[in-house]
Amino acid sequence: MTEKIPPLPAGKTVVQVFADFLRYLHTHARKFIEETHAIGHMWEKFEGRIDFVLTHPNGWEGGQQGLMREAAIMAGLVPDTKEGRSHLFFVTEGEASLHFCLQCGLAMDSKQVRLNV
- Is residue 107 over pLDDT 90? no
* Range with the poorest average pLDDT among 31-40, 89-98, 101-110: 101-110
Taking the C-alpha atoms of residue 56 and residue 64, their distance in angstroms, rounded to an integer, is 9
Q: What is the pLDDT of residue 1?
A: 64
d(CA 32, CA 58): 30
- What pLDDT is attached to residue 13? 94
**Residue 23 · residue 76 · CB < 8 Å:** yes
Listed by start position, the domains of the chain span 14-25+49-115
Specify the pLDDT at position 110.
53
CA nearest neighbour of 52 among 41, 68, 40: 68
Beta carbons of 71 and 18 less than 8 angstroms apart: yes
- 21-58 pLDDT, tens digit per residue, is 999 999 999 999 888 888 777 888 888 889 999 999 89
pLDDT on residue 117: 43
Which residue in 28, 76, 72, 30 sits closest to 53, CA to CA?
72
Coil/strand/helix, residue 91: strand
